[in-house]
């Protein structure tokens, strides 16, 4: 059985849950839906949709690391052996990618938050609605 088929078999329920969440929330990030604050991956969906339209400038605006995600996911699903020859090099790659995402997130939070999409605050998130309710009670 190929790695991809094994991945689908082992993660079928998770994949269905993620698909249902995306359908029910119209693709909204679960972190932003709960907290109202964007996550390090916010904007990736819109970036890839812009990429499908060949609108690279908009894709880069929505998330400057959009070009890393698809090749990385394909590698994770299909790789039989460690990338770059060893687990240590693979760990280095994961750390590098995570560091890039965190660095870009910090930069975007500093320059775009809280008013510019996709790094804007969601006033309709669960936590923001709870805060509104608490203010009404107090």
pLDDT digits (tens, 9 = 90+) for 8-48: 778 888 888 877 877 776 667 888 888 999 999 999 988 99
Residue 25 belongs to a domain:
yes
Give pLDDT, residue 43: 92
Per the domain annotation, does 4 fall within a domain? no
Burial classification of residue 51, based on how many CB atoms lie within 10 Å of its CB (0-12 exposed, 13-18 middle, 19 or more buried): middle
Domains in the chain, number: 1
> What's the confidence (pLDDT) of residue 1?
59
pTM above 0.85, yes or no: no
54: containing domain: 9-137
14 falls within a domain: yes
| pLDDT by residue, tens only, the chain of 138 residues | 567 777 777 888 888 887 787 777 666 788 888 899 999 999 998 899 899 999 999 999 999 999 999 988 888 777 777 767 788 888 898 899 999 999 999 999 999 999 998 999 999 888 999 999 999 998
User: Which two structure tokens, joined as six digits, stand for 98?
Assistant: 């995570």
Residue 87 domain-assigned (yes or no): yes
3-state SS assignment for residue 114: coil
Residue 96 falls within a domain, yes or no? Answer: yes
Are 40 and 105 in contact by the 8 Å Cβ rule? The answer is yes
Cα separation of 15 and 11, whole Å?
6
**Is 2 a member of any domain?**
no
Would 101 be classed as within a structural domain?
Answer: yes
Is residue 65 one of the residues assigned to a domain?
yes
């Amino acid at each position: 059985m190929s790695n991809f088929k094994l991945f689908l078999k082992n993660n079928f329920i998770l994949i269905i849950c993620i698909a249902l969440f995306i359908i029910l929330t119209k693709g909204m990030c679960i972190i932003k839906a709960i907290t109202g604050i964007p996550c390090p991956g916010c904007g990736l969906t819109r970036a890839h949709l812009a990429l499908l339209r060949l609108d690279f400038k908009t894709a880069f605006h929505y998330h400057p690391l959009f070009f890393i995600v698809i090749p990385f996911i394909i590698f994770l699903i299909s790789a039989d052996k460690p990338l770059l020859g060893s687990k240590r090099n693979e760990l280095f790659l994961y750390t590098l990618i995570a560091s890039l995402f965190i660095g870009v997130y910090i930069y975007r939070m500093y320059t775009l938050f809280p008013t510019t999409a996709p790094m804007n605050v969601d006033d309709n998130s669960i936590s923001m609605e709870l805060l509104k309710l608490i203010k009404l009670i107090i």
